[in-house]
Amino acid sequence: MPGGDKMKVLDLFSGLGGFSEAFLLQGDEVERVENNPLLQEVPKTTFMCVLELRDYLKRCKDEGTPIIQPDVVLAAPPCYDFSLAFSAPQAIASRNDNFDEYEPDMQLVEATIEIIKILNPRYFVIENVMGSIRHFAKLGLEPNQIHGACVFYGKFPKFSTPDMPTKKEKDKRHSPIRANHRALIPLPLSHALRKAILEQKTLFDYHSIED
C-alpha cells in the first residue's frame, strides 16, 4: 500500500498466476483461487470454485465471522461467453442475426461482484475481452482502461500499458491448459498495475461498483 506496507492480494480465476505475479515477486501476501486441478501446483493457489468462495464469504458475513480484508482483488473471469472469436457463441449469434438477443452466462461475473462487495477492497480489477462491455454494463461495470483486446474494469489508478504478446505468441496448441496460456496476463502488465497502485496520490482516480 502507499506508505511502504506489503499488500494483501486476492487473485480470482488465477490460472497460471500472471495477474498477481508481480505482487508475489515483490513480497506481497497473495492468495490465488482456481478450480482447474491441473493448476494446483501454481504457487499460492487454493483449489476452489469462485461460487464456493462467494458462498463461504456470505456465510461468514451472515454469522459475523471476521474476514481478512484484501487490499487488492484481481479477477479474470472466463471470457468464452463474451469472446468475439469466430467459434465463440456470441460470434455465432451475431452471424445468425441474434447478436442483440444473445445472453451469456453471467453467474461467475455476478459472483465476482458479490465477493468484491463483501470484501470491500481498496482496489479491484476485473479483466475481460472487448465483447464483455455491453454485458458487464448491465451489472454496473464500465471500462476503466482498455489496452488492445483487454478491458479492465474496477477501482484502480490508471497504469501504463506495456506491449502485450499476441494470441499466437501465447498459444500452446497441444497443452491441456491451452486456454490458461492464452489468457495469461503478462508480467510487465502486472508490474505496471502494482506500480500505479503504490504511486497513487488520490483516491478519486478510479471507478467503483454501483450498489
**42-98 residue pLDDT tens:** 999 999 999 999 999 999 999 999 999 999 999 999 999 999 999 999 999 999 999
Residue-averaged pLDDT of the chain:
88
| Nearest residue to 150 via CA among 179, 119, 186, 124 | 186
Q: Give dist(CA 152, CA 154) in Å, integer.
A: 7
Cell of 110: 455476478
Asked whether the predicted pLDDT for residue 1 surpasses 80, the reply is no
The CATH fold assigned to 8-199 is Rossmann fold (3.40.50)
Q: Who has greater pLDDT, 39 or 174?
A: 39
Asked whether the predicted pLDDT for residue 166 surpasses 70, the reply is no
Average pLDDT score over residue span 136-144: 97
Helix (H) or strand (E) holding 81: none
pLDDT of residue 211: 54
Crossing angle of helices 50-63/107-119, nearest 10°?
40
The confidence band for 170, taking pLDDT boundaries of 50, 70 and 90, is very low
In degrees, rounded to 5, the angle at the alpha carbon of residue 114 between the alpha carbons of residues 49 and 52 is 20
The confidence band for 174, taking pLDDT boundaries of 50, 70 and 90, is very low
pLDDT of residue 86: 92
pLDDT of residue 208: 55
Asked whether the predicted pLDDT for residue 181 surpasses 90, the reply is no
